[in-house]
Amino acid sequence: MKAFLEKIAERLVKKFPDSMENVAVVLPSKRSVIFLKYHLSKLIDKPIFLPKFFSIEEFIEELSEYRVVDNLSLQFYLYQSYLESPPSQTDTFEKFMSWSSMLLHDFNEIDRSLIDAKSVFTNLKQVKELENWTLEDWSFSSENLTDSQEQYVSFYNQFYNWYVSFNKILSDKKLAYQGMAYKKAASEI
């Protein structure tokens, strides 16, 4: 039984025997690109133009026109957003790093799923308010919250502002996290 990439190579050679220069091939990883090129080289016995090969990540970057950057760089840009509208007690960058990777993960999942971020963060804020609600407080007013509860709810209120600011900073620099690039690529299709 032939491997999947061998079959793809055969189909490409059969369909485009003289030139594949106007063909793009998207594969799951860079490794699979290497193996497909190997299988093509075994089947082609004359000089021809090969297709343009992309891993999924490279294809998304190409479509979105954003460059996906590493997590540490993203944390620096997110910290910049954080400092633009900080909570009442601002964390140092070191302390910020202890929880910001989880926030980056959430931003990534929201955008990869093409979910409306404002709705998510509004619902999250309401959940956090409910967590702090007690039976004695039937009015749902913030007057009966302790200082630490108010800081806790206020902290969650900032998430959407940080999301918007963070996305603007990255967009202005043509940079992105994976989910942001996926969302941009989806809007380009």
Q: What are 17-37's pLDDT values in tens digits?
A: 999 999 999 999 999 999 999
What pLDDT is recorded for position 141? 55
Cα–Cα distance, 57 to 68 (Å, whole number): 9
What pLDDT is recorded for position 157? 80
CA angle 105, 72, 121 (to 5 degrees): 30
With bands split at pLDDT 50, 70 and 90, how would you rate the model's confidence at 138? low
Distance spanning both ends of the chain, measured CA to CA: 36
How confident is the model over 100-127, as a mean pLDDT?
88
Rg (CA), the chain: 24
User: How many Cα neighbours within 13 Å face the side chain of 104?
Assistant: 22
Cα–Cα distance, 171 to 168 (Å, whole number): 5
Least confident stretch, 11-15, 138-142, 152-156, 177-181: 138-142
pLDDT of residue 168 exceeding 80: yes
Q: Quote the distance between the C-alpha of residue 43 and its chain's center.
A: 38
